[in-house]
Amino acid sequence: MALQSRRAAGRAPFVFLALLASVACGSGEAAPGTALTTAQAGVPAPVLDQPLAQPEPERIDISDLGHVRGNPEAPIQVVEFTDFGCGYCKQFHDNTWGTLERNYVDTGKVFWRTVHFNVGMFKNAQDAAVAGECAFAQGGQQRWDEMRVGLFAAQREWKGTDDAGPIFERVAREAGLDASAFQACMGNRDVEEPVRFANDVARRAGVRGTPTFYVNGYPVQGALPLEAFSEFFDRLLEAEAEGAAG
């Protein structure tokens, strides 16, 4: 399956390879250290000169899914599947995301969509995702961003307890949310619907670990270093410019 947003991902596929064991949270079928193809997972370094023949994939409409930032008409479209309980997702957020946002998203080169996917490995991760949605319901994208920062910062705390509610409430207060409204929202299970929908879409798309990124419709898996993302994006932008010039 492939993900389809407002901008079509109609570019030719590329061959990708990845070593997944050390950079992603999940339980894929491959043994540690196994190289996978796009049919199975994702990947750090695209080989731009090796087209991959494959059947036309099913398209999944994600135009109403997740949290977005950047120019919807940007030449690079990224969908990030993340789990607030995943240490590698925290690593990507802490070490890589901020620079990518400044250099590519804020400059109009990349449109970024973040979707929570509960891989089922971490205690309270589903409730953490609901906490993020409650922040969004109360204050929009800015509050969701602030809640995400707090949830990753407190990750070790809420993953290690049988009663994460007080921790989520503390994070919400620190993010500037109204505590009473946040508590009421967390008790409203209807708020969980977008999280359940996101989980379903991720599974249909074949996501098995986090973080997973779909870049112009094709998967890249793992908390790759900033240099790998930058090189990847720069090569895609160069190919886009060459195509436009030709």
pLDDT confidence bin for 4, thresholds 50/70/90: low
| Mean pLDDT for all residues in the chain | 81
Give the model's pLDDT for residue 246.
64
Task: Give the separation between CA 210 and CA 170, rounded to whole angstroms.
Answer: 26
Over residues 77-127, the pLDDT tens digits come to 999 999 999 999 999 999 999 999 999 999 999 999 999 999 989 999 999
The stretch 214-243 carries a mean pLDDT of 91
Over residues 163-211, the pLDDT tens digits come to 999 999 999 999 999 999 999 999 888 888 889 999 998 888 889 899 9
**Single-letter residue type at 221:** Q
pTM beyond 0.85: the answer is: no
pLDDT at 42 over 50: no
Give the model's pLDDT for residue 190.
85
pLDDT at 223 over 80: yes
